[in-house]
Amino acid sequence: MNDELAISKLIPIIAPFLVIQLILMVIAITLCIKAEATRGPKPMWILIIIFVNIVGPVAFLIAGRRNER
Amino acid sequence: MSKGGKKGGTSRYGALLGKEMLELARSMKLVWVPLVFVALGIMQPVSIYYMPLILEHGGNLPEGTVIEMPMPLPSEVMSGTLSQFGVIGILVLVLVYMGVVSGERSSGTASLILVKPVSIMAYLGSKLTAMLLLALLSLLCGYLAAWYYTDLLIGKFAFGEFLGSFLLYGLWLAFAMAATLLFSTILRSSAGAAACVLVLLALLSIAANLAPHFAGWLPGALNSYAAQAANSTIEYTDVFVWVIVCTVLLIAGAYALSCTLLRNSATID
């Protein structure tokens, strides 16, 4: 975080997590937009999905929808 | 609601299982649950490998602090991964499936399905199979990811140990899924079912650790057996066989009990 060396070292650490976060985010946002009823307002969920890493999409996928079909 | 004879049970089971798998694919659970396990599996070896770097740059250490940290053995990393799965992984799986029966009963789907000539055994059996498939697939993906990263960053981990610990841990997950099915049938509230299952699993694994003489033959011991299999310190004693037999019997018992309970209760809320 203070020099470029650290950032180049940190990239291999976070790259796999970024990919997973991205896939989870896309799935969660798609399902959120498609969902008929969510627990709480949809824009709130979309913000949570985008800005909370990994846990945000998972929280939506587990608890976000009122009925799953 | 004891409709449906034994005849044609297998074909109905196949159709119901197909419906369950379609549901898994459509709700994207087939993708995102394994992905969560992959994230967990990567986290353990990566965070251990980069721990000195993370401490150096993230911690508020004074200048010039030298951190000497021995690199752990690959087997320790892999058994650490299993304990990660045991906390967050099981939590996710149980929360995903907490409403497997109670949710369908309250939404009326269960009564819609069970008015057709479908046996309750086939109905619950298809659900249990889908649960086990998802749990084992997730565990396999996550554990393979952990194996890959451990091999890359820390050191070799043998296939035999991988397979042994995977199978033992898979049995523990299968037990967790059967318990979820049972509690979801007993209780109307899916949150209550999830809480009961999580407390039961925690109690079983704590009991197996604290009092191995009394609870060593219960499924809770599978946790430590899986870790031992990863460390290749496992001893195939009589107790080990008992744990396996007992877990399989308990899974079958949970399935049979949920069938009986569902048969004897109204499917329409």
Over residues B231-269, the pLDDT tens digits come to 888 888 888 999 999 999 999 999 999 999 988 876 555
In angstroms, what separates the C-alpha of B35 from chain A's closest C-alpha? 7
For position B4, what pLDDT does the model report? 42
Q: Do B46 and A16 touch (CB under 8 A)?
A: yes
Helix (H, G, I), strand (E, B) or coil at A38: strand
Lowest mean pLDDT among A18-32, B41-55, B93-107: B41-55
For position A67, what pLDDT does the model report? 63
Domain ranges of chain A: 16-63
Residue B22 has pLDDT above 60, yes or no: yes
**Candidates A23, A58, A65, A67, partner chain B, best to mutate (most B CBs within 10 A):** A58
Helix (H, G, I), strand (E, B) or coil at A65: strand
For position A60, what pLDDT does the model report? 92
Q: Do B32 and A1 touch (CB under 8 A)?
A: no
> B46 with B149: CB under 8 angstroms?
yes
Q: How many CB atoms lie within 10 A of CB A46?
A: 18
For position B54, what pLDDT does the model report? 72
Share of chain B above pLDDT 90, in %: 52
Domain ranges of chain B: 9-264
In angstroms, what separates the C-alpha of B11 from chain A's closest C-alpha? 24
For position B268, what pLDDT does the model report? 52
Instruction: Classify each residue of B203-233 as buried b or exposed e, where b means 16 or more C-beta atoms within 10 Å of its C-beta.
Output: ebbebbeeeeeebbbbbbbbbbbbbbbbbee
Q: Which of A9, A13, A27 sits opposite B32 (nearest CB)?
A: A27
Predicted ipTM of the assembly: 0.85
Asked if A2 reaches chain B (Cβ–Cβ under 8 Å), the answer is yes
Q: Do A24 and B35 touch (CB under 8 A)?
A: yes
Give me A34's structure tokens.
């498609």
Q: How many CB atoms lie within 10 A of CB B10?
A: 11
Mean pLDDT, residues B139-151: 94
Asked if B27 reaches chain A (Cβ–Cβ under 8 Å), the answer is yes
Residue B27 has pLDDT above 50, yes or no: yes
Over residues A50-63, the pLDDT tens digits come to 998 888 999 999 88
Q: Do B39 and A17 touch (CB under 8 A)?
A: yes
User: Which residues of chain B does A16 touch, with a Cβ-Cβ cutoff of 8 Å?
Assistant: 39, 42, 46
Phi, psi of B160 (to 5 degrees): -60, -45
Over residues B218-228, the pLDDT tens digits come to 898 898 899 98
